[in-house]
A and B are shown apart, each in its own frame.
Chain A
Amino acid sequence: MNPQLRRHLASAVFILGFFLLWEALCWLFGVSDIVLPKPSEIIITLIARMPALWPHILQTLYTTLIGFGLGIAIGIALGVLVGSSRLAYDVAYPLLIGFATIPKVAVVPIFVLWFGAGGVPAVLTAMIMCIFPIVVNVATGLATTEPELEDVMRALHASKLEILWNVGLPRTMPYFFASLKVSVTLAFVGTVISETVASNRGIGNVMMIASSNFDVPLVFAGLLILAVLGVALYAIFSVIETNITGWAHRKDEMAMG
């Protein structure tokens, strides 16, 4: 058995074990479904309600992806600005940190006030959740670019834009992808917060209604869906990351003599 397969197997066994333990403890202590449903119960609910849940899943995924996309665009733009200009760094960083500290749940009502309840506040909440990690990482990547690498370009009389494009941004890619993996999970959090507070669609809304009806298995089914979506997107970005920034992960390789 090769080591990679063994690693995957170990992680699968561990995850399965976690749910089995959960199930066993629920049986053992006779925990009520209203307090903590058994995993089997959650799965059954999930399958039974799937036709009704499906549009909400799509809605949440769609909202998150749009918010995430916007967050990436704005995050890169701000990150490039903050990372390449000392002035922008000094001016924008305190503002950004202040903004990132605000609980996003407090912002949702403002968005609702401006744009009405529904999809737009959810997209915007997802977006502002992702911006901060992206800005910080892109800015760090740019600011820590080795001056020697830039000298190579400057000696060729390259313009600032050419230096950014050929040295700054590629150098920043590993940082950028690290931030994407954090951001994509945060984007889900943002969407669900907004859907819970002010929307009539999406998984957040489903969970909200289910909990007010004491339909706890459905609440947990919603949580499971969100977790699965988050893991799936995380995995997608991990694969893209290893393909694009493979040069930064080279521990296994040996230098030649």
Chain B
Amino acid sequence: MISANVPDPRTHSQYFVELEEVTLSYGRGDKKIHALGLTNLRLKQGDFVALVGPSGCGKSTILKLVSGLITASTGYVYVAGRQVGAEPIRVGMAFQNPTMLPWLTVRENVMLPLKIVPPFREQYRAKRNGEFRDRADALLKEVGLANFGDKRPWQLSGGMLQRASLCRALVHEPQLLMLDEPFGALDQFTREELWAIMQDLWTKMRPTVLLVTHDLKEAGYLANRICVMRARPGVIVDDAEVPFARPRTIEMSYTPPFVALTQRLRELIVAARPAKEAA
């Protein structure tokens, strides 16, 4: 266990996100649950890393640690060279549910981060009908929702809401984008369409992305690197580069090297699954 509060400046200089000897456990005594075993993970600025693994392996826990929603039991989480929480960095998040606020229009939902996150919040009143509005509309257009800004969330389909949710995650130009199975609840065709949109947006804006997913094809399509996790306690058991050139296409996912990659990941996850407990 590391108890010193002074971080070593050597270890976290070249990476944008760094988890160093991090563990996380809930509860006390006999009921103590080790959600995350000793974990090390490093992300370069502008990288796109996917976390895959069986359910309950702590993938989402890593997202929450990096975005500062929860604090590590031991170890350090650094973002942009600082301990997480020390200095607010702009984080965008998209969840499996689009979680649009139903009393706002789609555009207002997309603009929500601008209302909350500095430095935009100070200018929100002055710019909400001008620059910020245009920025939200531009993003909505990019994901194919050009004329839906004035609609209410319940007037949109699940796929459309998830697009809007991506816009909301990106509108404040986050340095860090956390995607927690954002395409998990969608049908295959919508999902593939959104992969392409996500790839475009990432290429243009280049945030550092951490994607949690169950879909190995999705991980192979989108990520630069794929980390495979094991459950109870969650640890990263494999960390591999994805060598395919960008922009990637759906056709690519049927080529032998891609299939070989997803097969290998699948075997790793099956092997990592806890033997007795079925998911």
Contacts and interface: CB of A to CB of B under 8 A. Distances in A.
A253 B99 contact: no
B116 interface: yes
A212 to B, nearest CB: 52
Contact of A155 (B69, B115, B157): B69
A253 B95 contact: no
B72 interface: no
Nearest to A146: B99
Interface residues of B, number: 27
B144 interface: no
Interface string A11-36: 00000000000000000000000000
Contacts of B247: none
A114 interface: no
A170 B117 contact: no
Contact of B95 (A151, A162, A248): A151
Contacts of B88: 157
Interface stretch (B29-37, B42-50, B148-156, B192-200): B148-156
A157 to B, nearest CB: 6
A98 interface: no
20 contacts: A148-B95, A149-B101, A151-B95, A155-B67, A155-B69, A155-B92, A155-B93, A155-B178, A156-B112, A156-B116, A157-B91, A166-B112, A170-B103, A247-B154, A248-B103, A250-B154, A255-B155, A255-B156, A255-B157, A256-B157
Interface of A: 146, 148-149, 151-158, 162, 166-167, 170-171, 173, 245, 247-248, 250, 253, 255-257
Interface of B: 67-69, 88, 91-93, 95, 97, 99, 101-103, 112-113, 115-117, 152, 154-157, 160, 168, 172, 178
User: Top 8 closest A-B pairs, CB basis?
Assistant: A155-B93, A156-B116, A247-B103, A148-B99, A170-B103, A158-B116, A247-B102, A152-B99
Given A152-B168, A156-B116, 13 more contacts: A155-B91, A155-B92, A155-B178, A156-B91, A166-B116, A167-B101, A173-B103, A245-B103, A247-B102, A247-B152, A247-B154, A256-B155, A256-B157
